[in-house]
Structures are given as structure tokens and as C-alpha cells.
Chain A
Amino acid sequence: MSVKAISEYTAEPMDTVDKFHGMQLMYIYWKNHLMFCASFAFLVDPEMSFESMLTNTFLPAIKDHPDSGKINFESATWLLNGNDFNASMELSLRENKIDHKSLLTITTPELNGLNSSAT
């Protein structure tokens, strides 16, 4: 539905990709690790490889969690915007079809947070 207004109502979206100077937004939710209160928001270069995103963006963000050093990326499973997703490590985010404001969900089956409390 459109906005009911006293005259014609149009609006520009505030966060289109062109406003991020060549970068884009990407969110990551690490399941069962609610020590991090919410999914993360990252500013990333769409041309960086998935693997380098993991090493340079994701891992530093979770470094304070005792599970962070134990992640086995071979057994981890991913969702991209809610759908099953097989990441190609050496391909770029763009080539992996991770577009602006995409949400990645990672499940690390062996790791379930502090004392397996999902935190």
C-alpha cells in the first residue's frame, strides 16, 4: 500500500548501494552464539573473495568468543537471505551473488556457544 498523504507522496530509499562509495552492506548471523546480541553489519568490498571476507571481516568480529578459534569451515553450513547457500571460497562476494544488504547465516554444528547454551 502507498502512504496516505495530503498530496502525491514519493520517497528515495536512504541506503541504496550507490551511497556506499563502491562498498556494500552485508550482515552475518552466527547461529547459537548470542553472546553477540545481534547479527553483525559489515561494510565490505564486493570484489573481495569469500575466503578473505571470512579471514579479514568475520573472524576479527567474533574473536572474543571462545568458539571463534574452533570453527571448521568445512562442516559449517550457510544460508544466503534464508536460502541454502554453498559459498565458493575463492570467488568474490559479487560472484557468489551476495548482493547489497544480503544476510548470511552460518551454522557451526560442532559449536553451540558457552557451555552449549547457545550463547
Chain B
Amino acid sequence: MSAKNRKLNLKDKYQYLTRDMAWEPTYQDKKDIFPEEDFEGIKIKDWSKWEDPFRLTMDSYWKYQAEKEKKLYAIFDAFAQNNGHQNISDARYVNALKLFLSGVSPLEYAAFQGYAKVGRQFSGAGARVACQMQAIDELRHSQTQQHAMSHYNKHFNGLHDPAHMHDRVWFLSVPKSFFDDARSAGPFEFLTAISFSFEYVLTNLLFVPFMSGAAYNGDMATVTFGFSAQSDEARHMTLGLEVIKFILEQHEDNVPIIQKWIDKWFWRGFRLLSLVGMMMDYMLPNKVMSWAEAWETYYEKSGGALFKDLERYGIRPPKYQDVANAAKNHISHQAWATFYQYSKATNFHTWMPDESEMKWLAEKYPDSFDKYYRPRFEYWDRKQKEGERFYNDTLPQLCQVCQIPAIFTEHESPSVLSLRQVEYNEERYHFCSDGCADIFNDEPEKYIQAWLPVHQIYQGNCDGSNVSEVVSNYYNINLGKDNLDYDGSPDQKRWQEIKNNGSK
């Protein structure tokens, strides 16, 4: 046989290098080898029905990824050598990177840990291999994002300690607790949470805004990272859909369990995305599209089609989808108002939109911006010009589940805070919404342990009794240098110097 003839076709290769790597145990009980496969109540009758749509094997995986890495790092080098940071739209843009690096990159790392863990837990070899590859992808994303953005750390403040901040800073407990919730669940809930709800349903609302934001604002390093991760994300999305269909097809008893998880993780994801909404509407000097437009395109349209498709399995659209759809006109403004007033405790700068940005916001949000948000923004703007920039010095009440301050308003009354309260074992718990309260009521024991930053500060566990002590000692944020208003910041000064030197 010639060497050429010995080459396996894709299908055989996949068979040999994945499924055939597994075996039926003879002297150990399968249940002992895969002890986490049953306890969630999901029933898998036949793992061989698992379809890996890409039929990707480890040897070709390494080859593709290595090629991508080579190209990517060549561009990072060129970006650094050519002082690529000087070509961005405005230094305010860098604050979106600070948010990304401390809020999202650590989630990539958490996803790596999650997939590495569940990749050990399935008795089906196809699923194990898919999880293993995704684990490595996510580790790569975390690393390459840090390398893409590290150049900015040489020129701007606040990018010096993102992993530490992710573990401690009040608002970063929102993304952190999201992934901790998923990773501490069973393997099937983890896949429903991350592969399906996050990667498939909501990823376009996280990834696309940041990467197009980078493109619109001249950030070549981050754009290049985005391209390099795109093929991975496409694979993750496809897998996310396959996973859910596979589980649903395996047994009808799986349907109500999956529905409950979809309800939960849609809501958790929607809450988490408030951070992206404010980034799009307020932090990008050159705007891509509004949060409401993104939500309409990527959730209402695509999600609508998806849930129609899943109807034949007995799955309905997520509970409280109507609340989320209506909130698209509010959450980005509410979130930015929050960061603006608590900017003594952020790792990035905040600012008031200028007149042209206010006009853009009013156009994009004709039913909400002028009526509900413009008055406070104009007042703060005026105060700032009078030398009395507004900061809120009192800590906010937090939601026990999503850990976001209780900033959201009632579905039908945008001037009334949406506050919910539940008593459990003689202790009061507070929530931002019915969605979060439902999640709590389903598994109270899980959420009574929540590490709520505000309560931890008041218990005296965060190296200080006031905001400035906590921020400097516990968060490792340089108060006044890394945060407060952009106007008058060292970042702004440095940017003006760069621009002046360039035009000389």
C-alpha cells in the first residue's frame, strides 16, 4: 500500500482518534468511573448518537491552532512596534478594554476550567473530546486576550491586575459568580448554561459588540484576536446547539429539566449582558450599534427562530423573555448611571456623554432616553462643570443572585425600582427581579452562600472600613489614577500629549 492510500478519510480518522480511544470497562463499574453523570436526572440512552459536527481530531486541531497563533503573534508584535495604541479613536475607548480584561478574559479562563472538568465526566467519548478541545480553546482565548491588550498596559492606567480584581471588585463579582454558579453545577447543567445559553444564544451579544467595537475604534490588536477566535466560537456555537438537541432527543424526561435550566441561564446571561449594553452605548467613542438594536437582531430575531426550531422538542422560549425584551430600552442607561456614580470604586474611568452622544442616545432610544435618563445626565453634567462632580458614597443594595446593585426598574413602570424579597430559614434575601428570585427559590442553599461584596465590606473582610481603603488595599486600584472621571485623568493627559506630538 502506498503512503497516499493509507491516509484515512475524515470520517474514519474521527472514528479512530476519538470514539475508538474509549473502551468498555471490564473490572470497574461504569458508574464509579463517571460518578457525576446521573445525579442531575438527565437520562442518556445512547452516547453513540452524539454527533460532533466538525469531526475534528486532535492532530488537525493542533495544526490549525498553531497556524492561527503564529499569525496572531506576528500582528501583536507589529502592533507594539508601531505603537498601535496611538491609532485608536480616543483614549476613552481603552476603558472598554479595562472592562473586558477584568470582566471577560477571566471568564474565558473559568470556561477552560469548566470544560476541562466536564470533559472528564461524560461516559461518551465524542462529548469528552469536544469538551477537551473547547477547554483548550478557552484557555487560548484567555491568554491571547491578555497578550492582545497588554500593550495598552504600558500606556494607560487600570490594566495592571485584572485577575486579582476579578476575584474581588464589587461589580466583577457579577461575571465571576455567573461562572461559579455554572461550574459548581452538574455537567449537563454546565453545558446548558455555557454551551447553549451563553455560547449559542447570547454570545453574539458579548463577542460581536466588543470585537466590532475594537474595529470601529481602530484597535487592531483586539480585532485580530477576534478573528483568531472566530472559528473557535463558530465551533462552540454549533456544539451548543448539538448538545441541547442531543440531550432532548435522548429522553422525554430531560425536557422539563432542560427547560428549567434554559429559563435560569437566559435570565442570568441577560443580567450579565447589562455590562455589555453600557459598553456599547456609552464607552465606545465610535458607536457600532445601540444595545437595543443588538438585542433586537441577535436575540429577538435569531433567538425567536431558534426557539421556534426547538418547539418540536417541547421547549418554549425562556421565561421572562418579555421582561428582557422590554428592558432593552433601559438597562444600558441604568448601568452607566451606576458606574458613573460609583466611579470611585471602578477600575476604569467614566464620563457623561457629550451633546452629540446624547443626541445619538435620544435617537436610538426615542421612548426612554429623554424621558427617563436625560434629566439626571444633564444635572450631573452641570454639576461637574460647577466643580461638583457627583459621586455616590453610600454602598448599594445588591441582588442575592446576579449580584448587580438593585438598579433595574419594573417592567411596566421604568421609574420604580424592581425589588423582591424572600424569607428563607428566618433570613431575608433581596433580589432585583422575579427572574433572580425564581432562581433562588429553586436552589436557596446554593445562593445563601453568595459572597456579596457590599456585605463583605460591612463585615470587615475587605481590608478597610471605607470605600477608599477597600479600593486601594483590597482591590489594588489606584484611587484617582485608575478611576474617577475621565475628564482630568492622567489617561486623558497622556492621550492629549500623544495627539499633540503626532500633529507637530
Contact = CB atoms under 8 A, between A and B. Distances in A.
B460 interface: yes
Given A1-B443, A42-B394, A13 B427 contact: yes
A35 B416 contact: no
Contact of B419 (A20, A40, A103): A103
B144 to A, nearest CB: 35
A10 interface: yes
B376 interface: yes
A119 B450 CA distance: 31
Contacts of B442: 1
Contacts of A25: 455, 458
A37 B419 contact: no
A20 B456 CA distance: 9
Nearest to B415: A118
B397 A64 contact: no
A117 B427 contact: no
Interface stretch (A26-34, A46-54, A88-96): A26-34
B54 interface: no
Nearest to B446: A3
Contact of B458 (A20, A35, A37, A61): A20
B186, B375, B429, B441 interface centre (most CB from chain A within 10 Å): B375
B41 interface: yes
Contacts of A2: 443, 445
A38 B397 contact: yes
A39 to B, nearest CB: 4
B454 to A, nearest CB: 5
B489 interface: no
Contacts of A35: 376, 379, 390
A101 B428 CA distance: 6
A27 B417 CA distance: 13
Interface in A36-92: 36-43, 61, 64, 81-82
Contact of A117 (B372, B428, B450): B372
A64 B340 CA distance: 14
B430 A13 contact: no
Interface stretch (B9-17, B32-40, B232-240): B32-40
Contacts of B458: 20, 23, 25, 41, 43
Contacts of B445: 2-3, 9-11
Nearest to A113: B375
B477 to A, nearest CB: 20
A45 B35 CA distance: 49
A119 B407 CA distance: 13
A52 B395 CA distance: 19
Contact of A13 (B41, B372, B425): B425
Given A14-B452, A39-B419, A41-B454, A27 B430 contact: yes
B106 interface: no
B436 interface: no
A114 B375 contact: yes
B405 interface: yes
Contact of B449 (A14, A27, A32): A14
Interface of A: 1-6, 9-16, 19-21, 23, 25, 27, 29, 31-32, 34-43, 61, 64, 81-82, 99-103, 113-115, 117-119
Interface of B: 35-36, 39-41, 186, 334, 337-338, 341-342, 371-372, 375-376, 379, 388, 390, 392-398, 405-407, 409, 415-417, 419, 421, 425, 427-430, 441-443, 445-446, 448-452, 454-455, 458-460
5 contacts: A6-B39, A14-B455, A15-B427, A37-B342, A117-B371
